[in-house]
Structure 1
C-alpha cells in the first residue's frame, strides 16, 4: 500500500512549519490548500518512483529474466488480460520459452513486480521449506468475508493449530466412509439430468435442449459438501433457485463491472473496500447470508450430537471438528464458510473440465463408459450403491480424473507475498513482493511430462508405478493440490467426490458439445472453468 497516511501527516507538519516560520514560501495563503498541494506533490513523486524508476532501474529483482515488451505503464497486464485462456496459459509459454534459474519476473499493472517460481527447488522453498515466510496476499484475505478466516486463510501458528485439529476429519479412513454419500448424490445428479432432458433424448438421434455444465456441476458439488461435510442436504440439484447457489453465483459470476472491480481489488484492496460501490454491498450481503446459514447448520449439528450422546458420531466433517473440542463457535463458522466455497467450487470446476474432455475426446468417453459399465451398478437403480474400493480400483477412471486435474487445475494460479525480506533460490526478495504459483504452468512442463505435456492423455497414468504419479519423478511437477503444510487438506475428499460424479455421468449419459464448433476459453475467478460450456446428452439405455 502506498504510504498515503505518511504523506498526509508530512504535508500537515510541513504546512505547520511553513505557516509559522516561512509563510512567504507557502504555495497558497490557505493552509488547507497548501497541505493539499504538498500532499499531491508527494503522491505524484511517489507514483513516479514506484511505477517507473524503482521497477526499471533500482529494484533488486530487475535482473531476473522475464518476458520482453509490454506496456510502458501496465507492464504485461494487457497481454495477460487478452489471452482467452487466462494468465496461467501465458505463464506456460513463459516458463517454456524464457531461460531462467528457477524464477521468472514480470511487470503487471502499474509495473508492479510479480515473481513466478518454476523450478522444483524454488517451489520447494515456497511451499515446503519456508511456507510461513510467504503468506496469502491482501487481495485474497479480502475474500475472508466469503471464505471465512479458516484453515485456508489462517497464517503461522494459527494455521498449524487449525490444520492439526481438522486433520482427523479429512483422514483417509474417514473420507472412505463418505463414498456412498458421494455416489448417492452423483446418482441424483444424473437422474435429474435425465428428467430435465427426457423429451427427445431416448429414442432419437436429435438431442435435447442444452445443459449448462457449470450450473449443474455447482449444484451437485454444493449438495455433496453439504451432506458429506456439514450434515445438511441443501437440495440444490432439485432446486436451482437454492439461496446459497444464488448467493455464490452473484459473487463468483459477476458482470463486467464486477470483473473490473475484482481486478482493481487485487491492486488496492484497502481502497476498494473503502469505496461506496455495489460490489462491496454484494459482498457484505453475501457474507451475512452465508454466515447465517453456517451458524444455523452448526447449531443443528450440535443438537444432533447432543441427542446422540454416547452413540456413534454423525460421520460428517463438521461433527468430527465439533467433537475435537478445539474450535469456538465462531471458529467453526469460519471453517464452514471455507468448506462451502473450497469444497464445491473447485470440484465443480474439475467436473466441468472433465465434461469438456469427454466431448473433445469421444474415444476417452467410450473407454471410460465401458469400464464403468463393467464395474459399477446403474446409477438409475434405486438400490445403486458403492464402496470406496469400487471406485479406487478403476484404472481408467482414475487416469482420466488425474489427467483432468493435471492439465486443467481448478485453481490455475495461487498467490503469496513475502512476509519479510527473504531469499528465493539465492535471490534476494524484498518484503511485500508478490509471488504467483501457477499449477497450470507447472503441470504442463515439458521437461517433466514430455513433449506431449499440453495434450490430454489419460494413458500416461496407466502402467506399472504410474497410477499415482503419471510416471514423473519430481514431487513438484503436479501442483494441483500444492504441497507441504499449506497443501490442500481436502485432497482425498475432492478426488473421491470427483471420481464418483464423473463415473455416474459418463456411465449414464453420452455427451456432446451443444455447438459443434465450440472452442474452449477459460474463465478466471476464484477457480478456473471453461467458459460458456453447454452440452447435449443422450441417455445410454444399456448398462
Structure 2
C-alpha cells in the first residue's frame, strides 16, 4: 500500500511537467555525429511518469529483473521514474562493460540514503574515481588488506575462531540451537573491532556480562542500514524530491550512521586521551604487540605533512568497512550452512575433508595459514558455489560518466548500470540445467576464481571498482566455515526435515535469509 500511495503522490506532482517530455518523439533514440540512429537497449513499455517502477514491485528486484531479461535480453534498459537504467545479465556483456568501458562505468549512482551526513562525499564505496578515491583505496590496501597485513593477524583470527568454537561447544553440550547468522556476525565484527580498536563489539550470548561489549544493538544498526539501502525509495527515482525525503529513508540513515560514528568517536577520543598520557595499546592479538590499526591511523594523521585523511574521513571510512565488511560475510556463511544442512551428504563430505587435513580431535581450530584452494579444495568449492547461488550483493551498481557504446547500443551519460550477479549465477547456458541446485562438484578441477578474472563468477565485482576487502572476506568465510564444520555435525531444530528448510530471500543491499538459520550442533565422530 505504501508504494501505491507514493505513486499517486508522484502522479499529482509530476503530471504536467513530464507530459512535455513524454510527447517528445523517439525519446529513447540518439544520433551519433554521422546522423546514424542508434538506440538504447530493448526495454519494456514505460508507463507515463513512473516508467517501469511498477514492474519491479511485488518481489525481490534482482529476481524480477531476471524474469524481465528473459523477454528483453541480457542487455536491456528501464525507465525508473526519471532515472534511465541499463541492466546487464550475462558474463560476456559484463566483461565488455567492466573492461573495455571500465573507466566510463567507474562511478556509481548514489542512493539518497548514502548522502546522509555527507557520507557519499567521503566514502570509498560511493566516491567517483578520483585522486581522493585512489588515496583512500591505497590507504586501505597498504594498512588493512595487503597479504602482509593479513598474515600479521593470524593470532587474532585464531583467537576469535576459538571463542566461536567455545560458544558452539557450550550450546552443543546443553542441546541448544545456534543462531548461525548471529554467531558468524559476532565472530566477524569482533575480528574487525579488535583489529582496529583492541575491543570486542558484540557477544555471543545476550546473558554474557562481558564489560568490553560496546553496544548490544550493533548488529541491528548494520542490518538496518543494509535493509534501508535496498528499499525502493522514491527519492532515488525522482531526485527532485530528495529535499522532501518523502519516505524518511535518509532521515533514518542519518540516525544509523550517526550512531555508528558516535561509537567510533568515543573510542578515538579515549585512545587520544591515552596517547596524551604516553600510553599505548599493547594488542598482542594482532601479531604486532605495539598498537592496533587505530594507532597506525592516528600516527599517520599526526605526521607533519600528512593531508590524505582527516578525522572525518577516517570516521566515514570506518562506516564503510564495518557495514560492507560484516553483513555480506555473515550472510555468505549463513547461506553456506543452510545449503549444507539441506544436503547432509555434502556436509559429510566436507567434514571428512576437514578431518583428513586437520585431524579428528573435536573442536581443534583450523589453521589460517592453510591454502584453502590447495589443501581444502572441497570447502573452497562450497564457498564458490555459495557465491554463485547467493552473491553477497545481487546487483552491482555502476554509472556512466559519459555516453558510451555497449554491444552496439548507446548508453547515455549519467545512466545507472546494474550488473545482475544473481541472474548470471543461475544462467543455465553457463551453468547447465542444474544451475538452481547447490552442486559444489562443478568447481572441482575448475580454474574459475572469484577475483574478477572470470565474469561468470565475480561476487566482489571486477575492474577498478572491485571490492578491496576481497582478501579479508575470502579468508574469513573459509576460516569460519571450517571452524563451524570441523568437529560438529548440524541438524535443524524442532525436528524439522532438513529438506524443508526455508530458503526464501530478503532483499537489501545484501541478500539475507527471510528466516534466521537456527541449527543444533552435534559432536562429530
TM-score over 0.5 (shorter chain): yes
1:347 partnered with 2:318: no
Alpha-carbon offset, residue 479 of structure 1: 1.9
Contact 1:512/1:536, CA 8 A, preserved across alignment: yes
TM-score (norm 1): 0.76
The change in CA–CA distance for 1:132 and 1:291 in structure 2 (over 3 A counts) is farther
Which of these residues, 416, 426, 437, is aligned with residue 444 of structure 1? 426
Q: Which has the larger radius of gyration?
A: 1
User: Greater helix percent: which structure?
Assistant: 1
> Partner residue of 2:457?
478
Which of these residues, 83, 87, 91, is aligned with residue 61 of structure 2? 87
Alpha-carbon offset, residue 153 of structure 1: 1.7
Alpha-carbon offset, residue 191 of structure 1: 2.5
Distance 2:412 2:134 in 1: 25
The change in CA–CA distance for 1:285 and 1:498 in structure 2 (over 3 A counts) is same
> Partner residue of 1:537?
520
**What is the correspondence of 1:97-176 to structure 2 with a 5 Å cutoff?**
97-98=70-71, 100=73, 103-108=75-80, 110=81, 112-120=83-91, 122-134=93-105, 135-139=107-111, 142=114, 145=117, 149-157=122-130, 158-168=132-142, 169-176=144-151
Q: Deviations over 1:155-175 (max 9, x none)?
A: 122212221222212112322
Contact 2:452/2:458, CA 8 A, preserved across alignment: no
Contact 1:410/1:527, CA 8 A, preserved across alignment: yes
Contact 2:399/2:416, CA 8 A, preserved across alignment: yes
> Partner residue of 1:387?
368
**What is the correspondence of 1:113-512 to structure 2 with a 5 Å cutoff?**
113-120=84-91, 122-134=93-105, 135-139=107-111, 142=114, 145=117, 149-157=122-130, 158-168=132-142, 169-196=144-171, 198-199=173-174, 201=175, 208-209=176-177, 211-239=178-206, 244=215, 246-250=217-221, 252-253=223-224, 262-268=232-238, 271-272=241-242, 274-275=244-245, 279-298=249-268, 318=294, 321=297, 326-376=308-358, 384=365, 386-389=367-370, 391=372, 393-463=375-445, 466=446, 468-469=448-449, 475-512=454-491
Distance 1:174 1:254 in 2: 28
The change in CA–CA distance for 1:386 and 1:146 in structure 2 (over 3 A counts) is farther
State the SS of the aligned residue for 1:133: coil
Distance 1:41 1:370 in 2: 63
Distance 1:99 1:407 in 2: 23
Alpha-carbon offset, residue 452 of structure 1: 2.9
Alpha-carbon offset, residue 295 of structure 1: 2.8
> Partner residue of 1:47?
18
Alpha-carbon offset, residue 184 of structure 1: 2.6
Contact 2:332/2:387, CA 8 A, preserved across alignment: yes
Alpha-carbon offset, residue 396 of structure 1: 1.1
Bigger CA drift: 529-538 or 372-381? 372-381
Contact 2:78/2:84, CA 8 A, preserved across alignment: yes
The change in CA–CA distance for 1:182 and 1:215 in structure 2 (over 3 A counts) is same
How many correspondences in the alignment?
A: 483
Unaligned 5+ residue runs, structure 2?
Answer: 1-10, 31-37, 301-305
Unaligned 5+ residue runs, structure 1?
Answer: 1-39, 202-207
Alpha-carbon offset, residue 48 of structure 1: 2.6
Distance 2:313 2:126 in 1: 12
Contact 1:226/1:233, CA 8 A, preserved across alignment: yes
The change in CA–CA distance for 1:473 and 1:279 in structure 2 (over 3 A counts) is closer
Distance 1:353 1:162 in 2: 31
Distance 2:465 2:237 in 1: 24
Contact 1:76/1:107, CA 8 A, preserved across alignment: yes
Alpha-carbon offset, residue 366 of structure 1: 0.8
The change in CA–CA distance for 1:474 and 1:295 in structure 2 (over 3 A counts) is closer
The change in CA–CA distance for 1:352 and 1:421 in structure 2 (over 3 A counts) is same
Aligned-pair Cα RMSD in Å: 4.0
TM-score (norm 2): 0.78
